[in-house]
Every structure is written in C-alpha cells, then in structure tokens.
Amino acid sequence: MLKKRTPLLVGLLVVVGAFAFILTFGSLDKGVDTDDAYEVNTLFSDATGLVENSRVMLSGIPVGAIKSIRLDTEDPTKARVVLVIEKRITLYEGVLDAATGRWVNGATAKRLQASLLGDYYISITPGIAGPKIPPGGEIHNIDSESGLSAVLNQLEESTAVIFPKLEKISDDIAAITGSVRKNFADEEGTAALQEIRDNIRETTVQVAGLSKEIRGFVDQAIVSHTQDVKNIIENVEATTRDLRSIAARADARLDHILVNVDEITGDLRGFVGRNLTEGAVSQEGTVAHALAKIDKSAVALEGTMESARTIAERIEAGQGTVGRLLTDEKLIDDVEDVVSDVKGITGPIGRLQVKVEFRSEYNIGQASLKSYVSLSLYPKPDKFYFIQLVSDPAGLTETKQRVTTTNDPSLPPVLVEEIVSTSNKLKFTAQFGKRWHFLTFRYGIMESTGGLGIDLDLLGDRLRMRTDVFDFGRDDWPRLRMLAAWEFAKHFYVAAGIDNVLNGARRDYFVGLGMGFTDEDLKSILPFVPTSGL
C-alpha cells in the first residue's frame, strides 16, 4: 500500500508545484490594466535605455508603464514617450513662470538607472499646482539625464564652485604664513617659541604621571580578578586529566589490536607451511593442487589453440564457405549494402509505436460536446510526438491588431484597433513529449496556440492526471485545464476535470468518455475488418 501511495503523493506534489508556478508566472506577467489607466505624453532629449513596457515609478512604487517610444513629429531631435498611468494617480500641469518660461510646482518625469546593468525606468512626481493633466496631456518638466552623464554634469558644476573656494583658502594660508614670519622672525618671536617649547615639556611630564596612574589602576583591576584566572587554570588542568584518561584507554585497545595482528601472522605462517609440503599437490584445497590443475588446463588450451590456428589458416586462404565470405571483398560489400538498406527501411518502422485515442467531453457550463482525435507516435519508449484534432463548439478565436497613423491633431497620432473573430474550425495540436518514469512533459502547439503540459501516469498507467497550459494572450490569465482519467476497462476510460481554472468568467467543468488503442491492438483487429467493399 505504501508503494502505491508514494507515487500518488509525489504526483500530487508535482501538480501543486506546477499550479503554484503558473499562478506566480501569471502574477508576475500581469501588466498595467489599460481599462483603468490613461495616457500621458513626455518629450525626452535622451531616451537611451528606455523600452516599451518599462516601469513608471512614483516614490519607488510601480504606477504605470511605457506604452510607446518614437521620434517627435514636430521636433525630431527629441523622443516622444507615451506613458500609461493608473487613474488613481492625479498629475498636475503646474504654473507657467512668465519670467523664466518654466513650469513651476507641476508634475515631473525623470529617466533613472535601476542598476549598473543598464536597466532604466521613469520616475514621476505628481506635482501640487495647476490644472490636472487630462488623458493625452503632457508632462512639461522632463529630466533626461541619469547615470554617468548626470554624475559628470554634477561633477562639472561642483568643480566650478569648489575651485574659487580653493583659491580663497590658498590666499588665506599665504596671509597666515606671512603673519607667522612677521611675528616670529625677531628675538621676541624666538623667546615666544622657547616658551612654547617649555610648556610642551611640562605637558609631557604631566602625561607621563597620568600614564603611571593608569598603569596602577590596571594592575589593581587585574589583581581583583585573580580568582577568575585561577578558575581558568583549574579548567585547563581538568581538561588535561580527561585527555590522559582517553590516552590510557587507547593504549589498551592498541594492545588488543597488536595481539590480533600476531594471531593473523601465525595463521598465514601455517597456511604457507601446509602448501609447501611434498604431498600438497594431491590435497584438495591447497595452492599446489590448484596450480597443478591450471597446468593441465594450459596444456588442453594449447591443443585448442593449435586447432584454431589451423582453421584460421584455411579461412585466410579462402577455403570453405566461411573463407569465401570473409575473403571475397565484393561479396562482403554487397551483403553490407543490402543489410544497411534493409535496416534503414525496417529499423525506424519496427521501433515506432502508435497509439490512437478518441475522447468526447460534455462541458457542463456551456452545455455542449467537445470531441478529440489523438495520435501518439513513439520512436522511443520515453519520447513521443502527440498530434490531435479538436472539435470545439466555442470555435477558433483569432485576435488581430490594426495600427493606423494620422496627422489629424484631434486624433491620437497612432490608433490601435483590436479585431476579434471566431470561426467554426477544427483546432490542431502538435507537441513533443518526454517521459521520466511516471512524469511526462509536453510542449508545442495546443489547440492552435502555444502551450505546454505535464502528465502523471500512476497505478500502472491506469490513472492519468493531466495539466495543460495554453492560450496565453486571450484573457488576463493563461488557460489552465486539469483532467483526471481512470481506465475502468481495457481500452476504455472515464475523465473529469476543470477548464480555464484561472479565468473565473470562462471557468467550466466537464466529464468525458474515451477509448484508446495501440498498434498491437490494431494488428489484432485488422484481420477481422471486412474488406469486401474496399
């Protein structure tokens, strides 16, 4: 029972891990919700490092993304960057200062470098004055400089301020040295210097006395802790006694080991003595008896080698059927060509295994029937190609985008239209699969979209748990379908599962019935198929 539960528990753990991975992938991949955001224009003199979908941060928190980057039509020397900002963020245009021609206390946008690897993003501030920036409006206060260029500009500005200060400091030092020369160059200055020297000597004597007092204090402090020092010494002595006891026990074990070695050498001496006696050849189990048998075998082997040498000489001379086969180069080449051709034709076909499946599912929410026809080709037991045709009542949905560029100032310069069409076509699946024990991984095209899947085959492949992830761009989350199938009779199985788990509006439940056959089953069925009408 434990052996059956272990793979089942491992399979459930893998499914949970895959589910968590998909949730994490979907949450990280989710961008700004365009339905709950509005566009704002910015003009950057340098848009280096900015790409579409780069982050827009406010106080270190993502509040939007870059929608598009292009050259401005009115001023081609600047880049027009269109931002998508969440509607909960209110931006203010600011107040135009007529004297300087700049917008004051308005929203700002600045290009910043997130790391040394060159990852850039746009940092904005909302501003505090002026009218609100409407959708399609523009942020006027732009700072394009960041990274190394900004550092160099700041360094240039700093040096322009520092150098005049350094010149002033050098002038002050020159004035001080001139004053010192004026005051200490005569005899009165010399006397003043001698007085300073005497004061320094007196200070040194006082410092020496203070150091003696400190030394006395330290000695007194150490003496007051002599008991702690004694405790440390006692602990060291106890440790050495323990080590001495361990060494004594090791000596006793060493003596026991030496006794065992002495006994082993005695046994070896007796064994060698028994095998060196004159009658040892006739005694079973002795080395001399074994060597005598080896000598007899060597004589017999020599006769066999002589016979083999004779046969080899005949074959080398081209005598007999084997000799012709081995010496006739043309015959050998012809046989090798035929064998290679036959192997090239029959090898892959003989190894290829085929499995055909038919399955129908009833979608409870849609009250419709969905059918599958599957073909699996196994060139190796652990590798296969999976081909499937799907009849889906929901049809095949295709999404196209149409981009229109206009110079009309009343319209956006670039208009993007999304066209969604649904047709009643068969969906196609083509995947490559790899199996490790009970775990199978598939990837490729799934129902006419990119997708991947993980299968768990348990209880002798009678219980199959299947997880498919595909159709990544249709909804907010990718389409996740989970299915469990149980083979209640040979070739027949029942299935149940959940479709579109992550998107609540499209989530549906289904039950189904299917059957599957392998090429061996088809070989046993084909002789009984009527062929009179073919």
**Assigned domain for 253 exists:** no
- In one letter, which amino acid is 23? L
What percent helix, strand, coil does the chain show, rounded to 5?
Answer: 45, 35, 25
**What is the rounded radius of gyration, in angstroms, for the C-alpha atoms of the chain?**
46
Tell me the mean pLDDT in the region 153-163: 68
CATH number for the domain including 363? 2.40.160
Q: Name which residue leads in pLDDT, 345 or 411.
A: 411
CB atoms within 10 A of CB 124: 23
Count: domains in the chain:
2
- Rounded to whole angstroms, how far apart are CA atoms 220 and 290? 87
**Assigned domain for 380 exists:** yes
Cβ–Cβ under 8 Å, residues 474 and 488: no
Tokens of 257: 């080991």
Cβ–Cβ under 8 Å, residues 308 and 300: no
255 pLDDT tier (thresholds 50, 70, 90): confident
- Rounded to whole angstroms, how far apart are CA atoms 177 and 192? 17
| pLDDT for position 285 | 63
- In one letter, which amino acid is 381? P
**Assigned domain for 226 exists:** no
pLDDT, tens only, 172-181 = 777 777 766 6
Contacts of 351 (CB under 8 A, 6+ apart): 379, 380
- Rounded to whole angstroms, how far apart are CA atoms 362 and 495? 10
Domain stop point among 144, 178, 198:
144
**Assigned domain for 473 exists:** yes
**Assigned domain for 262 exists:** no
**Assigned domain for 419 exists:** yes
Cβ–Cβ under 8 Å, residues 356 and 505: no
pLDDT, tens only, 314-355 = 777 766 666 666 666 766 676 677 667 656 665 566 678 899
Eight-state DSSP code of residue 98: T
Location of structure tokens 């260029």:
149
- Rounded to whole angstroms, how far apart are CA atoms 305 and 315? 15
Nearest CA to 64 out of 42, 44, 49, 46 is that of 42
Cβ–Cβ under 8 Å, residues 469 and 452: yes
**Assigned domain for 458 exists:** yes
Domain extent at residue 69:
31-144
Domain stop point among 128, 144, 160:
144
Altogether, the residues listed in the chain come to a count of 534
Q: Name which residue leads in pLDDT, 504 or 3.
A: 504
What is residue 82's three-state secondary structure? strand
Domain stop point among 122, 144, 166:
144
**Assigned domain for 421 exists:** yes
Average pLDDT, the chain: 79
